[in-house]
Amino acid sequence: MHDATGRIGDIWGPRTPHGRDTIWPVRVDQELADGVSEDEVERWVQSACVLCSNGCACDIAVKDGRMVGVRGRAVDRINHGRLGPKGLYGSWQWSGKDRLTTPLIREDGQLVETDWDTAMSRIVTESKRRQPLAHGFYTSGQLFLEEYYTLAVIGKAGLGTPHMDGNTRLCTATAAAALKETFGSDGQPGSYNDIEACDAIFLFGHNMAATQTVLWSRVLDRIEGADPPVVVAVDPRSTPVAETAERTGGVHLEPLPGTNQALMNGLLHELIEHGWVDREYVDAHTLGYDELAATVAAYGPERVAEICGLPAADIRRTAEIFGTSGRVLSTVLQGFYQSHQATAASCQVNNLHLLRGLIGKPGCGILQMNGQPTAENTRECGADGDLPGFRNWANPAHIDELARLWNVDSLVIPHWAPPTHAMQLWRYVEQGSIDFLWISATNPAVSLPELSRIRDLLSRDELFLVVQDGFLTETAQYADVVLPAAMWGEKQGTFTNASRTVHLSDQAVEPPGEARSDLDIFLDYARRMDFRDRDGRPLIGWSTPEEAFEAWKECSRGRPCDYSGLSYERLRGGSGIPWPCTEKAPEGVDRLYSDSEFPTDPEQCEDYGHDLLTGGSTSPDKYKASSPGGRAFLKAAEYSEPGEWISADYPLLGTSGRSPYHFHTRTKTGRSRRLNEAAPEVWVEVAEADAARLGVADGDLVRVESARGAVKGKARIGSGREGVVFVPFHYGYWDRAGQAPDGQPTAANEFTLTEWDPVSKQPLFKVSAVRVSKEE
C-alpha cells in the first residue's frame, strides 16, 4: 500500500520498473480524509475514477454515510492499483460542497427553489408544445452508459430528433472519426498492455504526463526497466513527455500548430522512400496504397521541415525510429484532434501502422485516445452524433435493426441526414430553429469556443434551457430549469475507458438533498412524455441501471462493441473487462484486428467515409464499389493551411490545453482543496524569446487577445517553441456577468474560434491568431 500523501508534488508516484514483456507491478495508492484511519472505514465500494479517460479502477471508502477516501484496485488491468492526483484528491473531496440539492426554476428572472413535480411539469409542458426538431440535447463525457443509452432512445425513438451530441465533440470526436475512416468502425484497436511489449512509443499531440497521469507512470516504469522503449513526442510545447523523448534517445518534434498533416505526410514519405513497408500485409489487408504513395511523394523532409518549422534531420530520425522498430505503440490526442486537419492527421497515424503491418499484435497498438472519462460510452450508445451500437445512419438495414429492437416505426428514427453535431446544434440555437435545449453534466459556458457567442446564445429569452448538473455551474446560471443530479459514488452504473475496458461503479452513498441520478431524471421525462412503442407499451422498458445495462447488451449484440457477455455480476470483484465480450470471448478481447479483418464490409461498417480534405461524404454506392471486403483504408490527404494564421495585428499562435490537477472546467476538481491549491488560477505560457521581445517577466500579468476576445493571466516563461502561447482551458467564471470574482477574464475560450475539422467536426482549440501584451 502506498500512502499517497504528497502526490501533488510527485504526480506519477514512485517508480516500479519493469522490463519488456513483463507484467507491470502492482502499487496500490490510497488516500483517506484527514482524521480517518483505515480501521474506521465501514465499507469499500467498487468503482472507477471518472476524471479522465484512463478509467482507473478504485474502491470508495465510506464512513457515516459519507465518502471519506479512495484506493486503487490492485486486480485491475488498467491501473494495477495506482491512482493519480485527480483520482486521489478530486474524485470524492467535493462531496457535500455547495451541491445542488433541490430543483430550481426561473421566476421573474431569478432562479428559485421548487419541487421535482413543478420542475418536470414545466419541462414537459415546454417540450410538448414544440415539434421534435425544435429540441436539442447537449450531453457529456461524464454520465454513465445506462444514462446515455436511455437518453439516446428518448431522443431517437421517443421524440425523433437528430439534434443530440455530447461535449465529447470537443475531445474525442476525431478519435471516432479517424477509426471509422480507416477501419470502417469506431473501436480502439490497441491495448494498454502494448506499453509492456513495445520497442518505441509515439505520442502524437498527447501530453500523457498531464492528461492521463497513471498511464504515463506505466510508461515511465517501462523506461526505468530493462530494455526500455524509445519515446517520440510530437508537441509544440516542452512537456515531460518531450523531455522523456530526449532522455530515451527519441525525438521531440515541435511542429507549428496547424501543420500536423504536413508532418505526417513527411513521415509516410520516408517510410515508403526507405522501403520500411510490409508490402505483403499492405496488399492483403489494405486499400489505397497507390493514392497514398502518390500524395506523400511531394512531402520530402526539406519541404515538410519548412512548413512545420522543424529540422529536416528530426523528421528523418523520427521516420527511421518508426520504420525500423520491431513493435511500435502510437497514442494520439488533442494536439492532433483539435486542429483543422484533425481527422486527416489522425488517419495518417493509422496509415503508419498499416504500412508496416503493426496492428493487432503485442506492442503494436494504436490508441486514438479519448479525453473525458465516459466519452467512449457517449459514442457507443449514440448520445453523440452517432447511432447506438456503432450503426450506420445511411444504412437502412441498421435503422431497421434499431426499429425492431425498440419496436417503433423506422421512420421515427431520424436518418435522413447524419445526426447533428454539436457545432451545428449550437448554430441551430443561434438561428432559432432549436429553442428547447437540454444540457446534462457539462459546462459549455466555459468549454465551447468563442465564449462571448455562447453567452449570447444561452441568455436568449426565446431559448428554453434545461441544465442538469451537480453544481450551479456557469452554464446552469442561465437556465430556465436546473435539475440537481446525483454524481459519481451517489449512483450506480458502468462506463468504459479509452481502451474499451468496462467498469462497474456501485452506489456508495445517498445523493444530497433531493438530487436524483441522471438516469432517473431521463426516465421521469420519458414517463411524463408518455413515449410508447408501436404496441402501446412504454418505450423505455427499464427502471434500474442494471435493467438499462441489460437492454444495452441487446442493442450492442453482434456489433463491434458487443457487450452481450458482460453483466453487473461479472464486473464485480475482479478487473474491468474489455469489449467485445461475448459467449465466445467471455474475458473480452485485449486488442482488435489480430486477424487483420476490419469491419469495412458495407453491411457492417459504421460509416461510408469522407474526403479527408473537404469532409464530403462518400456515397453508399461509391463505397460499395470500392469492395473493401474486410480491408482497411489507407486514406490520403494533402496538407492545407489553417483558416486563421498570424498577422501583423495578431502575430502569435494561441493554443489551449490541460493541467494535471484539473479536469474539464474544474466543476469537481476546483472544489478539492489540494488540487485547487496546486493550480489555483489561469496562467499564460510564453516562450523565452517572445517574452524577451514583449518585455514580459515570469509572474507578470499579461493579456492574450484574439479578434474574438481576451484572457488575462500571470506569465510563465517556458522553453516552448517561439511564436506559440499556451493557456489552460479549465478556468471559467463563477458569476453570470462573465467575470471572475477579481474582474479578470480567465477562460482560454474567450480567444478561440468557431471553426471545426471538416470530418470529425471537432473545434480548433489549438490554432488561434493572438497577441500578447503586458498589463500595467
Which parts of this chain interact with ligand SF4 (CB under 6 A)? 49, 51-52, 54-56, 83-84, 86-87, 212-214
Per-residue 3-state assignment (H helix, E strand, C coil) for 626-689:
CCCCCCEECCCCCCCCCCCCCCCCCCEEEEEECCCCCCCCCCCHHHCHHHHHHCCCCEEEEEHH
d(CA 731, CA 743): 13
Complex with ligand SF4: residue 7 or 285, whichever CB lies closer: 7
Complex with ligand SF4: residue 214 or 268, whichever CB lies closer: 214
Report the nearest approach of ligand SF4 to the CB of residue 212 (Å): 5
Report the nearest approach of ligand SF4 to the CB of residue 579 (Å): 18
Complex with ligand SF4: residue 94 or 436, whichever CB lies closer: 94
d(CA 367, CA 321): 18
Report the nearest approach of ligand SF4 to the CB of residue 680 (Å): 19
Report the nearest approach of ligand SF4 to the CB of residue 354 (Å): 29
d(CA 279, CA 274): 13
> Which CB contacts under 8 angstroms, 24+ apart, belong to 488-492?
488/47, 488/50, 488/91, 489/45, 489/47, 489/60, 489/67, 489/91, 489/92, 489/95, 490/515, 490/517, 491/144, 491/517, 491/518, 491/519, 491/545, 492/144, 492/517, 492/545, 492/546
Report the nearest approach of ligand SF4 to the CB of residue 244 (Å): 17
Q: Please, what is the Cα angle at 435 between 434 and 441, to 5 degrees?
A: 90
For residue 232, the SS3 value is strand
For residue 396, the SS3 value is helix
Grid coordinates belonging to 295: 500524395
d(CA 70, CA 369): 25
Report the nearest approach of ligand SF4 to the CB of residue 775 (Å): 33
Q: Please, what is the Cα angle at 424 between 422 and 429, to 5 degrees?
A: 95
Complex with ligand SF4: residue 91 or 351, whichever CB lies closer: 91
Complex with ligand SF4: residue 557 or 674, whichever CB lies closer: 674
**Maximum Cα–Cα distance for the chain, whole Å?**
73
For residue 378, the SS3 value is helix
Report the nearest approach of ligand SF4 to the CB of residue 291 (Å): 39
The label of the residue with cell 408544445 reads 129
d(CA 235, CA 343): 17
- Other beta carbons less than 10 A from residue 742's beta carbon: 8
- Asked if 191 and 197 touch (Cβ cutoff 8 Å), the reply is no
Q: How far is residue 262 from each of residues 72, 300, 331, 637, measured CA to CA in Å?
A: 42, 10, 18, 9
Burial class (CB in 10 A: 0-12, 13-18, 19+), 37: exposed
Complex with ligand SF4: residue 83 or 715, whichever CB lies closer: 83
d(CA 240, CA 213): 11
Complex with ligand SF4: residue 305 or 441, whichever CB lies closer: 441
Compute CA 365 distance to the chain's CA centroid, rounded to the nearest angstrom.
18
- Asked if 726 and 237 touch (Cβ cutoff 8 Å), the reply is yes
Q: How far is residue 582 from each of residues 382, 402, 558, 564, 587, measured CA to CA in Å?
A: 21, 20, 9, 5, 8
Complex with ligand SF4: residue 78 or 173, whichever CB lies closer: 78
Cross-strand partners of 332: 204, 368
Complex with ligand SF4: residue 83 or 232, whichever CB lies closer: 83
Report the nearest approach of ligand SF4 to the CB of residue 72 (Å): 8
Complex with ligand SF4: residue 86 or 252, whichever CB lies closer: 86
Complex with ligand SF4: residue 497 or 706, whichever CB lies closer: 497
Report the nearest approach of ligand SF4 to the CB of residue 51 (Å): 4
Burial class (CB in 10 A: 0-12, 13-18, 19+), 283: exposed
Return the residue nearest ligand SF4 (CB atom): 87
Report the nearest approach of ligand SF4 to the CB of residue 84 (Å): 3
Complex with ligand SF4: residue 609 or 657, whichever CB lies closer: 657
Report the nearest approach of ligand SF4 to the CB of residue 179 (Å): 21
- Other beta carbons less than 10 A from residue 160's beta carbon: 18
Report the nearest approach of ligand SF4 to the CB of residue 20 (Å): 23
Report the nearest approach of ligand SF4 to the CB of residue 213 (Å): 5
